[in-house]
Chain A
Amino acid sequence: MCLAIPAQILALDEGTDQAVVSLGGVKKPISLALVEDAAVGDYVLVHVGYALNKVSPEEAARTLALIQAAGALDAAAVDGDVPTGEASR
């Protein structure tokens, strides 16, 4: 299904709208062209190379916990980094 994964922005280049995010523990370059006012430390939903929108750390934690639980069902090796904040489930 069309999963969009929350990822934390580690670094960004405002001139080019490019950023580096941590996606499940892996650093990945993405484009911030579609979101406004994203800053280092923010969480964004990432889909095929673009940040779709910002999400709160709490929503990122909830979503990642859900994705990890779902991933475990598919026996995928998941070692993502859950952000700090309560993962209420």
Chain B
Amino acid sequence: MSDLAGQLDIQLRPDARTVARITSSRPLSAAGVFVGKPVARVAGQLPLLFSVCGTAQAVACAQACEAALGLAPAPSAQAARILLLRAETAKEHLWRLLLDWPAALARLDVIPEAVQLAAQSAEREAAMAAAMRAFLQLRAALGTGGDPFLPGADRIRPAADAVESARAILAETATEQVLGVPAARWLAAVLTPTDLRHWAAQTATPAAALVRALTAAGLADVGRCAIDRLSPGVEGSGLLRQLAPILAAADADDFVAAPHLQGVPRETSPFAREVVRGELVSALAAAHGNGLLPRLAALLTELARQTVQLGLDAEDTDEEVADAAMMAAAAPDAGVGLGAAAAARGLLVHRVAIAGSNRTGGAQVRGYRILAPTEWNFHPAGVVADGLADVAMAWAERRVTPTPAQLEALARLYVTAVDPCVDYRLSIS
């Protein structure tokens, strides 16, 4: 048994016409395990199976089942879903910024500050451990008065104190380890590439060191490529209606393994969301395309945005636009539902087909399919394949004598920046 979670195999051949070959052993039809089970049991089991982005999975599942059954959750359950989804994105982005990016930059071994940063990992791991505990505490607290992720969930009564303290820890981690100032102040102050440079120069957090190191090493543009995005404009029901017949077709398994729209692969990621949402990332993209610096800035901005939203009371979430960007649903046919959630790594779509009564207790799943962000981004002709071709070119053009080890380190940094969420093997020939 190699690995139950599957892995990506990335072959890099700088001299070949196709520079990057990507294949995957990810278990894409795993969701078929839910066929024949009652809806309520599926909603309970699915986050167990896909626990890394378990909240996004649970939200997409609930949305899809509710669309298929014509159910609606109580407002308090819906608010809890959005709150935990925001917390999950914050937690995942913290992981990238505190653990993955520092290690990947240090492996390049050309930036002394990055090497130094990676050597001091204990404090960042402790901060990440606190954030993980806070997230789990929040999830437990939101589930104490009933399961908010059950399709058609009733009103829930979460333990307010536990919710508050968990939110405070997540916000504190974002401030102390990443942004240096409270998230709202960061969002108001860092609007242009110049602001970002000033912030990085004046801030003592590990994330600020990452921005300085990336800029100093001339890596801001690395991985830049022209690829269409799944824009937030189509992340709502428009895209779901477009996907509905495709995900119902006989060859849907092939589609979810290598998704595209009208034959064109798309990117879905924090960068794809922020480039149309925020001034900073769109300004950086004008100068650096979808290279490494705009990707890093997208993580920072989304972390700040979600942290601010986490601080709002559930009743205050009158920002309907923000909520609509977090989740969507469509019911293309009777007994069929599609649900979407903005997962930390990109858009997650579930399709469920249900037989039986409209009460969750009597309804049974007869088809389940998941379309995950990794398959869009790691499509054989997708953003990572194209981005790695640029990585190989950037490596070949470096003035310092390029070594194969540097190419590998640069490729790994780029893959980390898009974030496959699973293990991957990288080989260079």
A residues touching B (Cβ–Cβ < 8 Å)? 1-5, 17, 23-26, 31, 33-36, 45, 47-48, 50, 52-53, 59, 62-63, 66-71, 73-74, 76-80
Contact = CB atoms under 8 A, between A and B. Distances in A.
Nearest to B5: A3
Given A3-B5, A34-B125, A78-B4, A63 B49 contact: yes
Contact of B30 (A47, A50, A70): A70
Contacts of A25: 1
Interface in B112-152: 122, 125-126, 128-129, 132-133, 136
Contacts of A74: 27-30
B33 A34 contact: no
Contacts of A23: 3
Interface centre among A3, A62, A67 (most CB of B within 10 A): A3
A47 B49 contact: no
Contact of A71 (B4, B370, B423): B4
Contact of B4 (A2, A33, A67): A67
Interface in B401-427: 421-423
Nearest to A64: B4
Interface centre among B30, B31, B32, B129 (most CB of A within 10 A): B30
Nearest to A28: B3
Contact of B52 (A2, A17, A78): A2
Interface string B30-73: 11110000000000010011111100010000000000000000
A63 B51 CA distance: 10
B45 A80 contact: no
B4 A1 contact: no
B129 A71 contact: no
Interface residues of B, number: 37
Contacts of A5: 3-5
B4 A76 contact: yes
Contact of A53 (B6, B136, B370): B136
B30 A73 contact: yes
Contacts of B31: 1, 70
Nearest to A60: B48
Given A66-B49, A74-B29, A35 B422 contact: no
A26 B1 contact: yes
B49 A3 contact: yes
A36 B29 CA distance: 34
A1 B51 CA distance: 9
The 9 A-B residue pairs whose C-beta atoms are closest, nearest first, are: A2-B52, A70-B30, A33-B125, A3-B5, A70-B33, A74-B27, A4-B51, A34-B129, A2-B421
Contacts of B32: 70, 73
B128 A1 contact: no
A70 B27 contact: yes
A1 B8 CA distance: 12
26 contacts: A1-B26, A2-B51, A2-B53, A3-B4, A3-B5, A3-B27, A3-B49, A5-B5, A23-B3, A24-B4, A31-B125, A33-B122, A33-B129, A45-B51, A47-B51, A52-B51, A62-B45, A66-B48, A67-B49, A70-B30, A74-B28, A76-B6, A77-B1, A78-B1, A78-B4, A80-B4
A35 B128 CA distance: 10
A75 to B, nearest CB: 9
Contacts of A36: 129, 133
B272 interface: no
Interface string B178-220: 0000000000000000000000000000000000000000000
B30 A1 contact: yes
B97 interface: no
A48 B92 CA distance: 13
A66 B33 contact: yes
A32 to B, nearest CB: 9
A66 to B, nearest CB: 5
B129 A47 contact: no
Given A4-B5, A25-B1, A71 B27 contact: yes
A78 to B, nearest CB: 6
B48 A62 contact: yes
A77 B30 CA distance: 14
Interface centre among A2, A34, A80 (most CB of B within 10 A): A2
B50 A1 contact: yes
B10 interface: no
Contacts of B25: 76
B365 interface: no
A34 B132 contact: yes
A52 B49 contact: no
